[in-house]
Structures are given as C-alpha cells and as structure tokens.
A and B are shown apart, each in its own frame.
Chain A
C-alpha cells in the first residue's frame, strides 16, 4: 500500500494537470444531504455510504462520490460552458471485503458543455488515457444511449417501455420484464386469476394504509389493458438481445450494430453519435482500431450515466476496481437541476491504485 502522503502528492499533481487542461478547481462538502442521494439511488446507497444524523439536519451521508455535489454546485451558480476539477476523499462502506478501503482519494474532471458532445466525450477520454499512459491497463468503453434508444423505439406500449427504461441499470429485472413482455415466461397463477375477472373488484379485505383502493383498482385496469397487448415481436427481441451482446473493437462493434439497426432502426441516430465520437477520439490520437466496445458496459455499476461510458482496468488484477472511470450524465443534471439541464461528461481517477500498480511493476 502506498503512503498516504504519496497518494496525496499524486492527487495534487493530477489536479494540476486537469487545471492546465482548462478546469477550475471546485471543493464540495464532505457531508451530503442523504435525501438527495436516496432519491437518486434508492435504498441501495445505504449499503455503500456511511449515514449519520443530527436532530437539526436529519440524515446526512459522507460523500460517496463527487459527481452529485459538483452537478449541484454547477446548477446553482455555474457559468457555461464549464470545466471543473477536484480531488478529495470519498467514503464507501465495506461490509463484504476487508481488503477494499472505505476511504480513498478521487481526482476528477467534469465538462459541462452544450455544443459538440462528441468532442467533449473525446476530450475527457483522451485526457484520462493520457494520465494512465504506461500503466498495464485495458480500456473498456460503451454507450448506454444506444440501448436506451433501442428500448424507446420498441414497437410496444409506452407503459412497457417506461418499465424497461426504469430498469436499464438492473439487468436481471430488465431481463425478466423483457421476457414477460415478449410472452416468453408463463403468466403467474395469481395474475391469471386476477385477469379472469371483470369490473371493480370489491373483496372483503379491509382497506388500510396510504396506498388506496383506487390505486389498486388502477393497477388492475393497467394489467388488464396490458394483457390485451400483443407480445414484443420476435425479430425486435432477437435484435435487442444481439445488441446487448455486442462486444468487439470499436470499428467491428459499429459494423455489427449497423447490421442490427436493420431490425432496430431507432438506434441509428445513437450510432451516428458513436461514429462522431470515434472520429473525435481518433483526431485526438486515440487508437480506436484496438479500443474495446461493449454495448452492455456500465449497466450494473454506473447508474446515472446515459451515454458514453468508459473505464480503465488493471488487466492482471481483476480484483481491483477501475483505476479510472466516467461517462456522460445528461439526465442527472436534469434531475438535480430543478428545471434546468445541461449536457455533462466527466470521470474520476484513483491515485492510490495508480501508485499501487506502479510499485508492483517496479
């Protein structure tokens, strides 16, 4: 393990480089309002973040990442366009693996920029690639926007699409919804019974609690409506599955996805954006011919990203988290912006892991 002072020195050095790239330094409080994070991530965040309370401000969390407070700060009083850098501790509760630190330094770079998303994506990626150059890392890239476009354009009801979109970041539930909407899984007995009825259901059971009988009835109606809908067509489903399985170098991935777009034409605009980003990355000297692309990358661990996603992994150390990771999070600025929004892309580096890998090599 590298010395804390060495890690801090490396963090400072990285931040200076990000400043030289045009970023302004921001600092955010260590204590974050728990409500904001819970609204965003749901109850799962409690497994990852330390929670503390006082009688005055209620529940607060020790900063689990910088993105949320940096977005909040920008939405409050940021000029446009803006580039930010920061370095500081983040805290992650560890209940399963004693070898993972519960406190570590992150150095980040975030771009809030309305024009030319492709250029901003390429700027962030190549800047991070430059910082980790020479380390034995594999870069992974993906684009959640392509999958989202595929779901949005499915030939089915808005309700089904909304349900699928809600679970884009929970692959297992997404899978089971998809199977149900495609008529692949049998309807549960309880559901079949419910659907065999008509009209208002007035059972003998007592109505209690804040979820009212009208809400129960509304969902029964929605289930009846849904049962009348045809299943998602086989060709769409197969194309969607093929899309989720794409795992190739960028040029081949693009080629495969253009083929898939014959059955899923709704992804063409998103593929054009990938094309533009690839050209912008190439112009910055990224070796895109050998860069990996996975269509499902980022679906399990990067929940607020909704476009380009990337990570740099130590090839010989699959047990380590990514040394650098990031992506585009346009929707997050909308959710935290109180009516405002701005396209944004950024990432973070782990100086401790960089030093650890350098020491191992030396």
Chain B
C-alpha cells in the first residue's frame, strides 16, 4: 500500500508546495493534462500524490483517506473539532500566510476594540431590531473567538466569497475574513480591530492520526521524515 499525500490542486499553493518538497529531495509532479488531478512522486518509494481542493484536505485527513496533507491552519481549525486529536502538525511551510481578522468600516471611529464592538452591537440591535451582522465563512472560529471575548448581540451571516463587499451591499455590517496584507480590506474602506485577530494561519504539512499505517506506509513516512529532518 502507499502513503498518500494530499496537496491543493490549484495555483500558487500547489506550486509552492512542490517547490518546498523539491528542496527536500522529494519531487512532486502533476501528470497528464492540466485538467486531470493525478500526480507522481519521486524520492520516496511507496508514496502517492493526491490532488484535492485545499478545503477538502482537512476532512480527508480526519477520515483517514489520506495520510498526509498540506493545507492552512485556518481550514484545519475551522473544519475539525479538537483538531489536535485528529491530525498532527509536521511542519510549517513558510508560505500561504494569512490572518483571520475582524474588520469594520473605517468611518466607525468609535470602534477600535472588542469592547467597543460589543457596545456598538448592543446599540445597533436596539436601533435596527436585528443583531449586528458579521459576514464570514469561518463560522466556528469566529463564534468561539467572540464567545470567549464575551461579545453579544451579533449574528454570523454566511459569505463564501467577495466577503468585503457585503458591507457596501448592506447584507452585513462588518466582516471576519482572511487577509495577508490587509489591502483588499482597505480598498473596501474597512479597518482591523486592534484586538480582533482571530487566528494566524499558514500552509502546514499535517499527518492524519486516524489513517491506517501498514508496513509500507510506515517505511515511506520514515523516509520522508528523515528527508524533512535532514533539511532543517
């Protein structure tokens, strides 16, 4: 049997992952046409490359259908309850840096902290008859963060893309989204809360604690770990 490594199937994340492994003596390549999600591995025998969407990788790890996977800390923590028990972090890959942040319109000069946000949410609910809406796709992480901070009178509305635009369209009053430089937020007239950093994320290599490891998989994993260790 083979040790299965899940890698995001598209774009810069895939290329950078390939580069990262190449520097450590493991060559990953995409085989066949661009549309075909198949790959090849050289440098470690009995290892197989599986190309997947980054969002599916946490679930595949948790189900044990892949042994290893590259995806962001944000996705693992959002999608896997008690993620430490299901996956083990093997290495941070040093790219794909992104922060999950809370952002409000820049002209909210009265709101800079979670304390301000809580007070503003209370006044907003009294004035508008509904809770202050936060657009996000990271429901669990944001809810846990706000519960912990004791912020009330907000509601999460689902946004799977173009989240920054929801405020202008008045489908939300603020957003919780991933940003690397904050540029998109600024371009949409939004600013970060000073204590509103929910999570720092980067591309990370995870090992499934659930997957089955036979003799071949164990041997392949040890070879790979040696290569990674060697490079450190």
Chain A residues with CB under 8 A of B222? none
B110, A219: Cβ atoms under 8 Å? yes
Contact A210 B119 (CB under 8 A): no
Whether B107 pairs with A208 at a CB distance below 8 angstroms is: yes
By a CB distance below 8 angstroms, the chain B residues around A180 are 115
Q: How many residue pairs bridge A and B at CB < 8 Å?
A: 112
- The contact of B119 among A172, A206, A209, A219, by CB within 8 Å, is A219
- Is B131 an interface position by the 8 A CB rule? yes
Given A46, A95, A206, A215, which contacts B106 in the complex, CB threshold below 8 Å? A206
Contacting pair A208 B150 (CB below 8 A): no
Interchain CB contact under 8 A, A208 and B81 = no
The answer to whether B128 touches A210 (Cβ under 8 A) is: yes
B82 contacts across to A, CB distance below 8 A: 95-96
8 Å CB contacts to B: which residues of A193-252?
194, 201, 203, 205-211, 213, 215-216, 218-220, 223
Question: What residues of chain B lie closer than 8 Å to A47, measured between beta carbons?
Answer: 140, 143-144, 147
Among the listed B113, B118, B173, which residue makes an inter-chain contact with A210, where contact means beta carbons less than 8 Å apart? B173
CB within 8 A of B123: which of A46, A174, A213, A218? A218
Instruction: Tell me the residues in window 148-170 of chain B with beta carbons closer than 8 Å to chain A beta carbons.
Output: 149-156, 167-168, 170
Residue of B nearest to A202 (CB): B107
A205 contacts B120, C-beta separation under 8 Å: no
| B173 in contact with A167 (CB, 8 Å) | no
A188–B113 Cα distance when bound, in Å, is 9
Total count of chain B residues near the partner, CB < 8 A: 44
A176 to B149, CA, bound (A): 10
Known: A163-B119, A191-B112, A210-B173. A215 touches B152 (CB 8 A): no
Q: Does more than half of chain A's interface fall in helix, strand or loop, or is it mixed?
A: helix
A167 pairs with B152, CB closer than 8 A? yes
Which B residues have a C-beta under 8 Å from some C-beta of A? 81-82, 105-110, 112-113, 115-116, 118-120, 122-124, 127-128, 131-132, 139-140, 143-144, 146-147, 149-156, 167-168, 170, 172-174, 189, 194
Q: Can you name 27 A-B pairs with beta carbons within 8 Å?
A: A42-B155, A43-B154, A46-B143, A46-B156, A47-B144, A95-B82, A95-B140, A167-B150, A172-B150, A173-B118, A173-B149, A173-B150, A174-B150, A176-B150, A188-B113, A203-B107, A203-B109, A206-B106, A206-B189, A207-B107, A209-B170, A210-B173, A216-B107, A216-B110, A218-B123, A219-B110, A223-B110
